[in-house]
Amino acid sequence: MADELVMPRLSDTMERGTVARWIKHEGDLVASGDVVAEIETDKATMEYQSDLDGTILAILVADGETAELGAPIAIVGEPGEAITPRPAADHTSVTAPVGASSAPATPRVTTAPVKASPIARRIAEESGVDLRELAGRGSGPDGRVVRTDVERLIARAGRREELPPPRAVAPVAPPAEAEVVDATRIQTVIARRMSEAKATVPHFYLTAEIDMTRAMTTRAELNAALAATGEKVSVNDLIVRACGLALHDNRQFHRSWIGGKVAYHPHANVGIAVALDDGLIVPVIREVERKTLRQVASEARDLAKRARTGQLRQPEIEGGTFTVSNLGMFGVAHFAAIINPPEPGILAVGATIERAVPVAGSIAIRPIMNLTLSADHRSSSGADGARFLQSVQRYLEAPILLVG
């Protein structure tokens, strides 16, 4: 029986996707696991693997066209099989099999735990929606309920008026001499995500000064020893490794506030902010506490390179439990970053600047770096954040601990 390939969820913030190009075409055989298309999301262009076996009978979303998350984009079945494909624009949160009745179904309520994204849970709580009505029928992976599923359910139930009303803001016209262009998809998503983060996450900030003398010496010695291999260790690699170990050491800080509960993270999955022409992307190095400094450096270099060419895969941009954002290479001495929820915090890294500082009763010139921690006050206290930052400082000022 014919079935649908649907627009997959390929990132945490994805609400729609664009078919960059079809690799398989109408009439081609496909098997589960075959790459059938490349999908452009708000973060990157990624390969889409089929979860069906059969022949592509119809392509519903052509190269360059966009569809909502979970909307049908192709039909797979047996050659010659009659199909009545629905347009992608007619998609609702529950994808009906081809040829199924269009009569509205009675909501199915289950008592089992419902898989849902944090923002879907928050919207459901605010609007009085019972997520059990969507259990197993969300448009995310494995039926996970996402934001658009809840919003569609709210609209069908006539409860949209119960959502918090949008704040009235007077429209502002751009200056007459300004060049005005449409925001890209990634710019739009970043604007929405950052607005939500600042509005819903109570940030607090802690700053520490790090004496990078020994870290810079250690880095120079490592790079000299690795010269023949072509490997290099950056200052940011030292910081990412230090954060991974510090997160592992400070369980009280390394936890997230999710749906009114506190989730403790077993591994330090550290995201590294990579600047793009029209925004940024945050690939994730997993289980940093278990990796050597050379492994961290190699992964960071590879992820950053592929991030700039749009070649990251889905798992490489999800699952972060902390983020490092470094603007030191631009000469920025100090800044505060916005948390990417549900992560418990983000570390803003400034430039390493030579300064006169007191050392053992005298004045010396030392390379000093400013670190500013932004933390979620729901999941950690000021003392939790301070202990974490102290650990990062200890590792960077005794970098032999990072090499082992």
Which residues are annotated as catalytic? 377
Parallel/antiparallel/unpaired status of strands 16-22 and 35-40: antiparallel
Cβ–Cβ under 8 Å, residues 6 and 142: no
- CA 149 vs. chain centroid, Å, equals 19
CA–CA separation, 36 and 20 (whole Å): 11
Q: Within a 10 A sphere around the Cβ of 328, how many other Cβ atoms?
A: 19
Which pair of tokens denotes residue 396?
Answer: 């960077």
Cβ–Cβ under 8 Å, residues 44 and 276: no
CA–CA separation, 146 and 151 (whole Å): 9
Task: With CA atoms as reference, report the closest residue to 8 among 315, 265, 223.
Answer: 315
CA–CA separation, 367 and 193 (whole Å): 35
Q: How many residues does the chain have?
A: 404
Q: Within a 10 A sphere around the Cβ of 29, how many other Cβ atoms?
A: 12
Cβ–Cβ under 8 Å, residues 4 and 98: yes
Place of tokens 């624009």: 89
CA–CA separation, 171 and 157 (whole Å): 31
243, 289, 294, 401 from 404: Cα distances, Å: 15, 11, 10, 6
Q: 55: which DSSP letter? A: E
Contacts of 108 (CB under 8 A, 6+ apart): 133, 135, 137
